[in-house]
Amino acid sequence: MTEIELLSWARGPGLQIATIIFVAGVVIRIFEILLLGRKANLAEAKGAEMSNGLKTMVTRTIPDPTTFKRSSVTIVSGYIFHIGLFVVCFLSAPHILFLKDIIGFGWPSAPTAVIDAFAVVTIIAMLATLINRLTNKVMRYLTNFEDLLTWFLTFLPLVTGYIAFHRIGLTAPSLLAVHILSVELLLVIFPFTKLMHAFTLFIARWYNGAISGYRGVAS
Amino acid sequence: MTKDVRLQGGEPEQAPEKGTPEKGTLGEALRSQGVSRRSFMKFCATTASMMALPPSMIPLVANALEKAKRPSVIWLSFQECTGCTESLTRAHTSTVESLIFDSISLDYHHTLQAASGAAAEAAREAAMEENHGNYLLVVDGSIPLDNPGYSTIAGISNLDMLKESAKGAAAIIAVGTCATYGGIPHAKPNPTGAVSVNEIIKDKPIINVPGCPPIPVVITGVLAHYLTFGSIPELDHIGRPKVFYGQSIHDRCYRRPFYDKGQFAETFDDEGAKKGWCLYKLGCKGPTTYNACATTKWNNGTSFPIESGHPCIGCSEPDFWDGGGFYKALSLPTEDLSKTAVYTAAGAAVAGVAISALNRAKKNTSNKIHIKTTIDDLRK
Amino acid sequence: MNQANVPQFNIHVGTELTWNVKPILHEIRHALEKLLNSGESSMIDLRSIPLAPGEEETIINTLGRGEVHARLDVLGPSEVYETQFAGVWLVTHYNENDSIVSRFIEVTEMPDVLKSQPEDVAHSLDELVTELGTEET
């Protein structure tokens, strides 16, 4: 198979397969969560459910002081790489073009020098989270295969994207194909791992806020 | 027109008449055509520039060319559009590059030569026999494998002619994307079973000079390299001379600063296009294409597609015809993803509802068969 | 086809597009220093460096014109002139159709291509001897 053939497959059938598995997996899981329903709470409601739920979706963004002291490395490096991934994925011109093709509209992009800087910072932050996970006694005790797998699946597109942009090592078509294939790998395994937190995060926060609000306590 | 030739410190030799294909050295051939040393210096400087060698190597080039033997060249044209020969003969109108052709002995080119038919084929066979092991074979066009009758010359199929001619060749230069990677005949669905030269000949050194067509100066540069050094230049992983195909268009494009700043032309006639902004969004394959267009340019350095406002189509890469559309940007999927996503979401929603119904049923059953633990159970 | 006849589209031309203009001018400066100190000549191939449309003109206009201008007839025309900076010469080789086939900036006392070559001189001596010989008889 020539390089361009591989690239064309990655951009064609590869993306189709990955999209189908990703969308089906995410939609089915979310439907399952939402449609399972909750047991009716027979106690009297002491506060509002919905509004507290919505409020908590936002306020949980700020960690409370005790949690922060205990897991400062995890939280700081976590925030850095999430923000970095957001900038690299959603503000780089080729990615915006890609999304525009799917959802119909785009937005202005950031200059490549900026994206480059954010990519480097994100790579460093992700390496920091991995090192923390392996050296911190508690983290190491809690770590299982899935944690390492999801870290790797997220790190691979980031690093292959950086390498493809700077054309280091292999020739350009191969590097680009590897980058796109790594994204497809991420998409295909995504719905079966904790990466689903990207969607369930807000459901979880709402739920916590809702049940607290019903009971009239802070959340 | 004969002249007494006195080379530096050498014996005066009787130079052959102009027009007789002599097999002496290049220096002798040029002098016999009345080319002065000064003209020869211009020729060497231009040739070195064409081969992308630094000016400090000009004396070396001059020395080598002076002593170079004139190789016999046999040019075979197979399933091609003749664009490569056209590209080359445009180069032929310039004096210096025409000298490269006078400095080789083009013993066979069925498009360019005056002879045809059995006599022409006999001449080819004679040249091949006379120079066995030393002649250069230049091929343009792909070779059909499905049915040898699809492309023949004087009744001989391309496959047979290639195999026979390759036997005594010192090296093979495959010119154009058709000969190097199959080109347009190889594009889906490849009705003739077209293949490239390197898929048939495995035991001879092959230099791939792809492009649709290749830049004329690149073709003559490769020939000049062989003439000067008698060897093939350093090749990349798919057989292209690194000196011309070592850089991607994107890395040498003068519009790169616009790409880096995020200034793109969105359509062919908008303000960005008029200002000469980057053509990435219009489908430019510059980032994944390796060729010399951005530096060497076309028509003796006049321009190249991007400079003229058209995105690069990636014509020196294999399978560029099936590379997902010339006007589709590289980061775009080649098939309609949004439709797939919407249909999948709809189907998944239905599946989700069905699975949830099953889940709820399971939950209800579990609740029903649930036996409450009483204080007696604990006492047991 | 003459360069001047090719229509120039309103492509935005800047001086900083490839950032190669200043470095080339500085390279010429260094070469001139070398020529002054050690008498060593240098040559820069203008076709080997990527330049945006208009940048080559910028370099040539900056170098300007000096006192010497020579037109050669060697396998098509060639033009050699000394720029306003003594020791910096521009050598442009054209083919029969007046298209540029190569272009060099030479930093030297006199470009080699202007000098008469020993081989040509030897050849000319023979011709002159023959000419004089036939005249006498």
Per-domain residue ranges of chain B: 71-245, 247-352
User: Does B333 sit within 8 Å of A12, measured CB to CB?
Assistant: yes
Give the residue-averaged pLDDT of C74-82.
88
Nearest to B94 among C48, C97, C104 (CB): C97
Contacts of B41 (CB under 8 A, 6+ apart): B62, C112, C113, C117
Contacts of B320 (CB under 8 A, 6+ apart): A4, B177, B212, B285, B289, B313, B314
Nearest to B49 among C47, C75, C118 (CB): C47
Cis peptide leading into residue C7 (ω within 30°)? no
Flag whether C touches A (3+ CB pairs, 8 A cutoff).
no
Residue B104 carries which side chain, given as an amino acid letter? Answer: I
ipTM value > 0.90? no
User: Does A31 sit within 8 Å of B323, measured CB to CB?
Assistant: no
CATH H-level superfamily of B71-245: NADH:ubiquinone oxidoreductase-like, 20kDa subunit (3.40.50.700)
| Domain-embedded: residue A117 | yes
Q: What is the pLDDT of residue C112?
A: 87
Q: What is the pLDDT of residue B17?
A: 33
What's the gap in Å between the CA of C79 and the closest CA on chain B?
A: 11
Q: What is the CATH number of domain B247-352?
A: 4.10.480.10
A76, A77, A81, A82 alpha-carbon torsion, rounded to 10°:
-40
Task: Write down which chains contact chain B via at least 3 CB pairs under 8 A.
Answer: A, C
CB proximity under 8 Å: A 28-67 to B: 28-32, 35-37
Cis peptide leading into residue B213 (ω within 30°)? yes
Residue A103 carries which side chain, given as an amino acid letter? Answer: I
Q: Is the C-alpha dihedral spanning B112, B115, B117, B122 positive or negative? A: negative
B355 touches chain A (CB under 8 A): yes
**Closest Cα in chain B to A15:** B333
**Cβ contacts of B41 on chain C, cutoff 8 Å:** 112-113, 117
The conformation of residue B110, written as its DSSP 8-state character, comes to: T
Task: Report pLDDT digits (tens) over C21-35.
Answer: 888 899 999 999 999
B316 touches chain A (CB under 8 A): no
Which one of B49, B57, B249, B264 would you mutate to disrupt binding with C, by most C Cβ within 10 Å of its Cβ? B49
- Whole-angstrom Cα distance, residue B331 to residue A168? 19
**Please, what are the domains in chain C?**
3-136 (3.30.1370.140)
Interface residues of chain B, partner chain C, Cβ below 8 Å: 4, 6-8, 35-39, 41-43, 45-46, 48-50, 52, 54-56, 58, 93-97, 99, 252, 254, 257, 274-276, 294-296, 299-303, 307-309
User: Does C48 sit within 8 Å of B99, measured CB to CB?
Assistant: no
Residue B92 carries which side chain, given as an amino acid letter? Answer: H
Listed as ranges, residues in chain A with pLDDT below 50 are none
Q: Is the C-alpha dihedral spanning C2, C7, C9, C15 positive or negative? A: positive
- Whole-angstrom Cα distance, residue C31 to residue C108? 9
| Domain-embedded: residue A82 | yes
Task: Report pLDDT digits (tens) over B44-85.
Answer: 888 788 777 888 888 888 888 777 777 788 889 999 998 888
Which one of B30, B38, B270 would you mutate to disrupt binding with C, by most C Cβ within 10 Å of its Cβ? B38
Provide, for chain B, the percentages of residues in helix, strand and coil under a 3-state DSSP scheme, each rounded to the nearest 5: 45, 15, 40
Token duo for residue B242: 């690194």
- In terms of Cβ atoms closer than 10 Å to its own Cβ (0-12, 13-18, 19+), residue B214 is buried
Nearest to B35 among C44, C47, C75 (CB): C75
B314 touches chain A (CB under 8 A): yes
| Domain-embedded: residue A107 | yes
Q: Which domain holds residue A171?
A: 3-38+71-195
Smallest CA-to-CA distance from A95 within B287, B330, B313 is with B330
pTM value is: 0.79
Token duo for residue A156: 């691979």
Q: Which helix (H) or strand (E) holds B136?
A: strand B135-140
- Whole-angstrom Cα distance, residue B70 to residue B89? 20
B266 touches chain A (CB under 8 A): no
**What is the total count of domains within chain A?**
1
**Cβ contacts of A161 on chain B, cutoff 8 Å:** none
What's the gap in Å between the CA of A105 and the closest CA on chain B?
A: 12
- Whole-angstrom Cα distance, residue A47 to residue B231? 87
Q: What is the pLDDT of residue B6?
A: 29
**Closest Cα in chain A to B262:** A111
User: Does C43 sit within 8 Å of B56, measured CB to CB?
Assistant: yes
Give the residue-averaged pLDDT of C30-53.
86
Which one of B251, B321, B337, B343 would you mutate to disrupt binding with A, by most A Cβ within 10 Å of its Cβ? B337
**Cβ contacts of C104 on chain B, cutoff 8 Å:** 45, 49, 55
> Which CATH number goes with the domain that contains A143?
1.20.950.20
Question: What are phi and psi for residue C72, nearest 5 degrees?
Answer: -110, 155
- Whole-angstrom Cα distance, residue B319 to residue A173? 12
The mean of the pLDDT values for chain C is 82
Token duo for residue B209: 């000079």
- Whole-angstrom Cα distance, residue C46 to residue C23? 12
Q: What is the pLDDT of residue B14?
A: 36
Smallest CA-to-CA distance from B177 within B290, B92, B27, B297 is with B290
| Domain-embedded: residue A217 | no
- Whole-angstrom Cα distance, residue C63 to residue A38? 82
Listed as ranges, residues in chain B with pLDDT below 70 are 1-24, 90-104
